[in-house]
Amino acid sequence: MAGPILIYVDADACPVKEEIYRVAARYGLKVFVVANAFINVPKDPMIERVIVPAGPDVADNWIAERAAPGAIVITQDVPLADRSVKAGAEVIGNTGRPFTEASIGMALATRNLMDELRSAGQTTRGPRPFSPKDRSDFLQALDKTVNTLKRKGFGL
């Protein structure tokens, strides 16, 4: 039998925490909200705040070390998404975009290209503003992912 479905949230600048809490409550799932500073979370035994020491990639490392089949990782951080996908976790971006084995290579390549352009002094646009459609797409993606994992025998 597969294990529980666990949700790991890369919480710094995550605009969909309330949506995650709602979906997790509906399905009775444990959520780990990971950050290197205090973040308010609901008083709920199924929601655990994890404060990691400050430093580059400390929160990402904490999540990546626990990413496994049956886990859902919520992040916009492409290197963390890559590590989590390789560990067998389901990974969803804040806009509902899934990171998969098929898509992670292109996402990494795009991220690296943009980093190189910025390092060379090019002005690049940041991400577009978060929209109500992004929120709706995220909710649909998270719900779909939970149900896919349940069909695979996780969380039962």
Q: Where are the domains of the chain?
A: 6-151
pLDDT at res. 121: 72
Q: Is the pLDDT of residue 48 over 60?
A: yes
At 145, give phi and psi (nearest 5°). Answer: -65, -45
Q: What mean pLDDT is reported for the chain?
A: 89
* CA torsion through residues 117, 36, 49, 63, sign: positive
Q: Is the pLDDT of residue 25 over 70?
A: yes
When pLDDT is averaged across residues 35-53 and rounded to a whole number, the result is 95
Q: Whole-angstrom Cα distance, residue 108 to residue 55?
A: 22
pTM over 0.75, yes/no:
yes
Q: Give pLDDT tens digits for 15-24.
A: 999 999 999 9
pLDDT at res. 37: 92
Q: Which CATH class is domain 6-151?
A: alpha beta
DSSP 38-56: -----S-TTEEEEEPPSST
Q: What pairs with residue 50 in β-bridges?
A: 34
Q: Cβ neighbours of residue 14 under 8 Å, at least 6 residues apart?
A: 20, 74, 75, 76, 94
